[in-house]
Amino acid sequence: MAVTGFATQAQVKFGAHAGINAASATFKETSGGQTTTYKYDSKIGLTIGVVAEIAIADALAFRPELNFTQKGGKYSDSQSGFSIENTISTNYLEMPLNVLYKFEAGGGNIFVGAGPSIGFGLSGKDKYKSTFGSNTTEDKTNVKFDGKANATDNDTHLKALDFGANFLAGYQLSNNLFFKASYTIGLSNISPETDFSVKNKGFGFTVGYMFGGSNSED
């Protein structure tokens, strides 16, 4: 609606950015009427992408992004001489669709914003390590975003589409260099299993540059 309503005479700018994503996840398993929650710790991954900014009003802008970002998380537990470690690394193509509010500060602009985020899973790895006494077992499988439930192979199967909410804040210098911090929380369950829930989340920090803009006269 923002793009359609304000396309005429709107200033459009484009840019690129890169940085890191401190991703984590929450797993929930339901069995026998009880739910067990496994909170995965952060795992650092790469984020790189392109940005567009479409002026809506003096202080408002619509800012979609298209990013390649790495998600996942790390989990560990130990008790009675037995310990486990699980590391999940996933690759996503993600599109945050944010509305920004901007105001001048120190010769540049501070911006804050929020909006929905749509992710599409591409690939991943699932590493598992268990230790009991002096015996250690390690396993490594693929993460497949095919949405297959009750799979009989050893791979990890997840749904490809991931819907979430995105929040961001940053600062853009007068020379168009910008710094941005963001938080994305997954709202959809990406597990295909009926008794299992998996949701992504993560903090990101990127540095980027806006390449100026053009005026649309359509």
Q: pLDDT digit of tens for each residue in the chain (218 aa)?
A: 444 444 445 689 999 999 999 999 999 999 888 999 999 999 999 999 999 999 999 899 999 999 999 999 999 998 888 899 999 999 999 999 999 999 999 889 999 999 999 999 999 999 999 998 888 999 999 999 999 999 999 999 999 999 999 999 999 999 999 999 999 999 999 999 999 999 999 999 999 999 975 444 44
Tokens of 82: 């037995």
Helix (H, G, I), strand (E, B) or coil at 2: helix
CA distance 79 to 84: 9
CA distance 58 to 164: 28
CA distance 111 to 105: 10
What pLDDT, on a 0 to 100 scale, did the predictor assign at position 216? 42
What pLDDT, on a 0 to 100 scale, did the predictor assign at position 217? 40
**Contact predicate 210/53, CB 8 Å:** yes
CA distance 180 to 45: 16
Max distance between CA atoms of the chain, in angstroms, equals: 71
Q: Cα angle at 95 between 94 and 96, to 5 degrees? A: 115
User: Left, alpha or beta for 186 (phi > 0: left; psi -120 to 50: alpha)?
Assistant: beta
CA distances from 25 to 70, 101, 135, 165 (A): 12, 29, 28, 15
